[in-house]
Structure 1
Amino acid sequence: MKVKILGAYGGRFGDLGTTCIQISEDTLIDAGNIMRSLGERCIQVNNIFLTHAHLDHIVDIPFMIDYTFRFREQPLNIYGHRETIEAVKDYIMNWNIWPEFSSIRLINSGDYAVNYYELLPETSFHTNGFDIYVFLSNHTVPTLSYVVKQNGVGFLFTGDTYRNPAVWEILNRDREIKVLITEVSFPSYMHNLAEVSKHHTPKTLREELKYLERDDLEIYIMHLKPNSLEELREEIRATLPTVKILDDGDEIII
Structure 2
Amino acid sequence: MKLRILGCSGGVGSDSDTTSMLVDSDILIDAGTGVGNLTLDELIQIDHIFVTHSHLDHIVYIPFLVDTVGFMRQKPVTVYATQATLKILRQHLFNWHIWPDFTKIPDTKNPYMRYEVISQGTVTELNGRKIIPLPANHVVPSVGYQLDSGNASLVFTGDTTTNDALWSVVNTIENLEYLIIEAAFSEKRRDIAIRSKHLCPSLLCAELEKLTSKAEIYITHLKQGEDELTMREILACAGKFKPSRLLKNQIFEF
TM-score (norm 1): 0.93
Q: Which moved more, 1:24-33 or 1:230-239?
A: 230-239
In 1, Cα distance between the equivalents of 2:62 and 2:51?
Answer: 11
In 1, Cα distance between the equivalents of 2:253 and 2:115?
Answer: 30
Contact 2:70 2:113 in 1 (8 A): no
Q: Which moved more, 1:178-187 or 1:68-77?
A: 68-77
Shift of 1:92: 1.1
Deviation per residue, 1:215-247 (Å, 9 max, x gap):
x31111101112322322332333336101112
Is residue 177 from structure 1 mapped to residue 176 from structure 2 by the alignment?
yes
Match of 2:84 in 1: 83
Contact 2:26 2:46 in 1 (8 A): yes
Match of 1:190 in 2: 189
Match of 2:22 in 1: 22
In 2, Cα distance between the equivalents of 1:130 and 1:197?
Answer: 33
- Secondary structure in 2 aligned to 1:98? coil
Contact 2:26 2:47 in 1 (8 A): yes
TM-score (norm 2): 0.93
Match of 2:115 in 1: 116
Contact 2:134 2:169 in 1 (8 A): no
Q: Which runs of 5+ in 2 are unaligned?
A: none
Match of 1:226 in 2: 224
- Secondary structure in 1 aligned to 2:208? helix
Residues matched between the structures, number: 250
- Secondary structure in 1 aligned to 2:39? helix
* 1:66-145 correspondence to structure 2 within 5 Å: 66-105=67-106, 111-145=110-144
Contact 1:34 1:64 in 2 (8 A): no
Match of 2:53 in 1: 52
Matched residue type, 2:217 = I
- Secondary structure in 1 aligned to 2:53? coil
Q: Which runs of 5+ in 1 are unaligned?
A: none
Match of 1:11 in 2: 11
Matched residue type, 1:22 = L
Shift of 1:33: 2.8
Is residue 152 from structure 1 mapped to residue 151 from structure 2 by the alignment?
yes
Contact 1:162 1:198 in 2 (8 A): yes
RMSD: 1.6
Deviation per residue, 1:60-90 (Å, 9 max, x gap):
0111111112311110100001121111111
In 1, Cα distance between the equivalents of 2:44 and 2:33?
Answer: 14
Contact 1:123 1:135 in 2 (8 A): no
Deviation per residue, 1:188-232 (Å, 9 max, x gap):
121110001010111111111111223x31111101112322322
Shift of 1:154: 1.1
In 2, Cα distance between the equivalents of 1:173 and 1:61?
Answer: 33
Q: Structure 1 vs Structure 2: percent identity of aligned residues? A: 35
